[in-house]
A and B are shown apart, each in its own frame.
Chain A
Amino acid sequence: MADQALRKAPLAGRHGGSSGARVTPAGPATRLALRAGSDAIGTLSLAFGLELPQRPKTSASVTGRHALWLGPDEWLLIDENGADLLGIASGVSALHSATDVSHRNTTILVSGPDAAAAIAAACPLDLGTSVFPVGAAARTVLGKIEIVLLRTGKEDYRVECWRSFSPYAFGMLVEGAEDAGL
């Protein structure tokens, strides 16, 4: 029997940013691409223990578990504690599609008073508090790549991207953070 294979995160060992905006790779998390019609939302919400958001640019969070609205029938579920989201979904009989994307995405945390300015170096979204308050989420772009952005606190953001794009995203955010902190 071979040894258990070890995980190697795409941004392992990286760090950067400025005093105004720290840029750090987040730890591993389980993630689910969840698709379902409106009739299944109630059952799925019950199973996942949070209310699946139904308005654009919103999310729901409960103790390290986030559900991000990405489209009228599409959510990204993230569990920072590594819960078996696919397992939970498989127990739901209401019609839906759940696909494990835990390893597809990786997360970069951007935190600090200049976090929004750091992201705004390459992200064309309006991150003003009235437009993008805590809990706001959006699939958007960062420079040349697609990201999913979640505002987790007044000065805290999660930037989700596909793993092969993560060095680019990280580099861009670090440059943004350095400039924002000046």
Chain B
Amino acid sequence: MSGANRIAGQGRLTPAKTARFTFDGKTIDALEGDTVASALLANGVHLVGRSFKYHRPRGILSAGPEEPNALIDVSRDAARRQPNVRAPVQEVFDGMKVESQNRWPSLAFDIGGINNLMSPFFAAGFYYKTFMWPKAAWEKVYEPFIRKAAGLGVSPTEEDPDHYASRYAYCDVLVAGAGVAGLSAALAAAEAGARVILVDEQPEVGGALHYDLSVKIDGQNGYDWAQATAAKLKAMENVTVLTRTTAFGYYNHNFVGLVERVTDHLTRPDKKLPRERLWQVRAKRVVLATGSIERHMVFANNDRPGIMLASAARTYLNHFGVAVGRKVGVYTASDSAYEAAFDLKRAGVTIAAIVDNREKPGDAVLTEARKLGIEVLTGHSVIDTKGKLRVSSISVARNGGGSARSIPVDALLMSAGWTPSVHLFSQSRGKVAYDAASGRFLPGTYAQDCLSVGSCNGTDGLQATIEESLAAGELMARATGNEGGSKVELRGENAFEWTGGMAGAAEGAGVDTTVKAFVDFQNDVCAKDIRLAVREGMHSIEHIKRFTTNGMATDQGKLSNIHGLAIASEVLNREIPKIGLTTFRAPYTPVTFGALISHSRGELFDPARKTPMHAWEEAHGAVFEDVGNWKRAWYYPRSGETMHDAVNRECRTVRNAAGLFDASTLGKIEVVGPDAAEFLNLMYTNAWDTLKPGRCRYGIMLREDGFVYDDGVVGRLAEDRFHVTTTTGGAPRVMNHMEDYLQTEFPHLKVWLTSTTEQWAVIAVQGPKAREILAPLVEGIDISNEAFPHMSVREGKICGVPTRLFRMSFTGEAGYEVNVPADYGQAVWEAIWARAEPLGACAYGTETMHVLRAEKGYIIVGQDTDGTVTPHDASLSWAVSKKKTDFVGIRGLKRPDLVKEGRKQLVGLLTKDPNVVLEEGAQIVADPNEPKPMKMLGHVTSSYWSENCGRSIAMALVAGGQARLGQTLYVPMPDRTIAVEVSEMVFVDKEGGRLNG
């Protein structure tokens, strides 16, 4: 048994193929191919949830993605749980668990239902009013209450165990929607030879053919034709057909986002399958065949379970074989609902009455209704409904007054006509135009290479739709250079052409009424709320929307927008187009974060860049720090050592023996060409033409405004070849900066730049024993002090492999930087380590590097500078050439503000108490007793405990710092004020003799 309301001989599901799931703990028997909604309806369940604000009982309204009411929580297991799933689009699978939402303690008895009685308190805009009065209530009452009440479902707490995939794709023609229009367009385009992608959100193609049994195409039943056409398309090499796939976003240049649901309908999905696949499609042309969505009628208590869209009832009957009721009423302003009554009547369901608020419905449907013996009440309206958890009766009255007649029903089908789905068109920045004759917004001005066809374009007739779609498909194929194929022709027939439709509040819910006639079901917005918004001064639809939250739920007002506009239009006495339509934004329906993130999680979230020596460092206990995307060895704690202990030991060891440091992450740029020196002269403040091959120089690079941009050591390998180093973090931007100037300002120079950051592994060997360590490993380079003094570079071999050996120092000790081709990095490091360790050297990390350079007053760009520091501010005037007539920043440096007295300058700070280590970023003042706000002189940029000095040291940017040498300043902290003395920046080996050791 798959439900008492399943009608034998109706629908397309196979009775033998069953599936079973639970709804609020109760077992529901279903058939394969059912949605949660169809299976519940088959079992007579209409009540599936409680509304957002008033906790009113709600049922299944639709059979598609527009569903605002039937939002459920679906889980496969504890970790695979998703709230706010629309029941009509969730396919059932064996063992799924479905829970209703927004109710406590149970769906049938919900305490929150009291909100319904208190509804005057929750009038439109109440949330905004809480901001205004009373202030005290905000923190204690409104905020906790509103936060708790907000939202429908409950987010899952466990990590998502599924994986998601992504794919970029290209095509000539992307067709969104695979109903009659989309299939026709895709067929015509494919036959012409175009690369076609056809997508549809449903499990099978067909669109409206799911419910409209009267359609025949080329003599074949419409639904069967659709399946056969899809099969034919799938077999073509140039076509991709994606079902269960939503085109959710239409972006610039025909870039369309699709999300394909791969496993959500499967009982036991293969673990290899992604749950969803994100497709990012760049289409040369797009055909929008997105159809239209039926609107509900806006009347008093139109939200009871059992009240649903007429086309939805047809879908449940004709596709799923489910009768939504046994005694069904119809309330309509459009001919289309009649066909639902006809289909149900023929299937044996009693039609209580068709209530049509028009005086003159279409002749054809009227004749057919009479033939079937269905009572039709023209010029009548449903003015109210009754029924606690499901509709039990409707009150029907003649328009314009008169006594009401109560008609018992167990379901009410409604239709106010059809709203073209212009969502994707609107997302493409196309401008919709209001068609007053049909009361619809239709695609107007196109912004991208796309065409709308079928009912989303306002095309009503079947044959007209087919012809328009075939023409569009062929046109798009031809426009993308496809000349093959035969012309496709199709002949469609159907029973009725539909007329009618209305927008806005119906009889009994008009201007002077206070009934609850719902416009937006998901956000609980009634017709009277929109009128209230207008009365309170909201005259633009953008304001009305935000004040009432009409159309702001996750369904984005697929049903409510047009009604909302019409109601506002009536109260404002302005035409609909003058009030405007809000712009549709992506996504069309909600998209999971998983799909958007796809592969970018875990190790693929962001590249973790590791140096060639990383494995050695890890094996030797290094703790790593992130520097940009790099993992750098921070310090190497031995057993029992704290970070402080380890850094102190490393600092001592480097100055007393030696240390090995992985400097591979430093940016490296090879500058090659006859004008290389001239180019560097322009890019750096120093002179480079005077640098001899085999020598290095520390260089400073400025921006045009005169502020320090980067620094580094540059070695000249040959007349026309320089090896430039940059800071680790600065590597890409320095490369861009240089390339930018080279191409735009100095294109006359014969010079080329190549990033070689990753070509070289760099091993810094620093300390008094550095030469002793390296000497036996190096071939072809005399590394004696005389032949290879400080700031030299040579090419030769180390451990049998090529090296660029630099004599340089960022520690103040005699030091070398061994560059070897990266694949050799670890082997050369190990060979050096094998010599270094017995000599008492250590490996050291970035923290020790920072301390050692601070002991020497060497700056770190980005730490001691912040984009407002000139070389003069940083005591680096010596590095600014006085002879050069041009370099980037030379004019900036002369700006009045940059040469005036009292600028912040980099100085050393020594705390009066040598054991106190200042906090980096702490502010500095001259008078600790000055009333607030105190005058800030500057801030601490670098601060460390220096084991080698036996005290703390610091660097700081201080206003007029150089003139304050020896002065006492103060660093006020929350708990105390620290007295400091302004000092020079060099704390160790002031004469610099050790460099040449």
Q: Is the A/B pair a real complex? A: yes
Interface residue ranges, A against B (CB under 8 Å):
1-10, 28, 33, 35, 73, 95, 97-105, 117, 120-126, 128, 131, 143-145, 162-165, 167-168, 171-172, 175-176, 178-180, 182
Query: Bound state CA distance, A178 and B600, in angstroms?
Result: 15
Q: Does B539 contact A (CB under 8 A)?
A: no
3 cross-chain pairs, A with B, having the tightest CB-CB distances, nearest first = A5-B827, A164-B609, A4-B800
Query: Bound state CA distance, A125 and B168, in angstroms?
Result: 8
Q: Does B606 contact A (CB under 8 A)?
A: yes
Q: A143-B604, A144-B606 are in contact. Are A103 and B822 (CB under 8 A)?
A: yes
Query: Bound state CA distance, A182 and B262, in angstroms?
Result: 11
Q: Does B603 contact A (CB under 8 A)?
A: yes
| Chain B contacts for A182, CB-based, 8 A | 272-273
Most A C-beta atoms less than 10 A away, residue of B168, B169, B672, B826: B168
Task: Return 22 A-B CB contacts under 8 Å, by A number.
Answer: A1-B776, A2-B777, A3-B799, A5-B824, A8-B825, A73-B752, A95-B673, A97-B672, A101-B756, A104-B757, A105-B758, A121-B165, A121-B166, A121-B168, A125-B168, A128-B170, A131-B170, A143-B599, A163-B612, A164-B609, A172-B599, A175-B163
| Chain B contacts for A101, CB-based, 8 A | 754, 756, 759
**Is there contact, CB below 8 Å, between B168 and A145?**
no
Q: A33-B754, A97-B672, A126-B170 are in contact. Are A8 and B827 (CB under 8 A)?
A: yes
Query: Bound state CA distance, A175 and B831, in angstroms?
Result: 37
CB B862 to nearest CB in A, in angstroms, measures: 21
**Is there contact, CB below 8 Å, between A5 and B272?**
no
| Chain B contacts for A178, CB-based, 8 A | 272
**Is there contact, CB below 8 Å, between A175 and B799?**
no
**Is there contact, CB below 8 Å, between B799 and A2?**
yes
- Name the residue on A nearest B163 (C-beta): A175
**Is there contact, CB below 8 Å, between A179 and B165?**
yes
**Is there contact, CB below 8 Å, between B611 and A103?**
no
| Chain B contacts for A176, CB-based, 8 A | 165, 599
Query: Which stretch from B70-78, B200-208, B274-282 is at the chain A interface?
Result: B274-282
Query: Bound state CA distance, A56 and B652, in angstroms?
Result: 56
Q: A97-B673, A143-B599, A164-B609 are in contact. Are A2 and B831 (CB under 8 A)?
A: yes
B800-829 vs A: 1/0 string, CB under 8 Å?
110000000000000000001111111110
**Is there contact, CB below 8 Å, between B826 and A122?**
no
Q: Does B372 contact A (CB under 8 A)?
A: no
Which of the four size classes fits the interface of chain B? 35 or more
Query: Bound state CA distance, A104 and B823, in angstroms?
Result: 9
CB A153 to nearest CB in B, in angstroms, measures: 20
Further pairs besides A8-B825, A175-B165: 15, Cβ < 8 Å: A5-B831, A8-B824, A99-B756, A100-B759, A101-B756, A103-B760, A103-B824, A105-B758, A126-B170, A128-B170, A143-B599, A162-B757, A167-B610, A172-B604, A179-B167
CB A102 to nearest CB in B, in angstroms, measures: 7
**Is there contact, CB below 8 Å, between B758 and A104?**
yes
Point out the residue from B608, B751, B799, B825 that lies within 8 Å of A4, measured CB to CB: B799
Q: Would you list which residues of chain B between 748 and 770 have a CB under 8 Å from chain A?
A: 750-752, 754-760
**Is there contact, CB below 8 Å, between A179 and B612?**
no
| Chain B contacts for A8, CB-based, 8 A | 612, 823-827
Query: Bound state CA distance, A9 and B612, in angstroms?
Result: 9
Q: A131-B170, A175-B599 are in contact. Are A2 and B776 (CB under 8 A)?
A: yes
**Is there contact, CB below 8 Å, between A124 and B606?**
no
Point out the residue from B163, B611, B673 that lies within 8 Å of A164, measured CB to CB: B611
**Is there contact, CB below 8 Å, between A164 and B827?**
no
Q: A95-B750, A121-B167, A179-B165 are in contact. Are A104 and B759 (CB under 8 A)?
A: yes
| Chain A contacts for B608, CB-based, 8 A | 167-168
| Chain A contacts for B776, CB-based, 8 A | 1-2
- Name the residue on B nearest A131 (C-beta): B170
CB B939 to nearest CB in A, in angstroms, measures: 34
Point out the residue from B272, B607, B800 that lies within 8 Å of A165, measured CB to CB: B607
Most B C-beta atoms less than 10 A away, residue of A5, A95, A101, A102: A5
B653-685 vs A: 1/0 string, CB under 8 Å?
000000000000000001011100000000000
**Is there contact, CB below 8 Å, between A120 and B604?**
no
CB A57 to nearest CB in B, in angstroms, measures: 14
Q: Does B516 contact A (CB under 8 A)?
A: no
CB A173 to nearest CB in B, in angstroms, measures: 10
| Chain A contacts for B606, CB-based, 8 A | 144
**Is there contact, CB below 8 Å, between A5 and B801?**
yes
| Chain B contacts for A7, CB-based, 8 A | 823-824, 827
Q: A99-B670, A104-B822, A179-B274 are in contact. Are A35 and B752 (CB under 8 A)?
A: yes
| Chain B contacts for A28, CB-based, 8 A | 823
- Name the residue on A nearest B802 (C-beta): A100
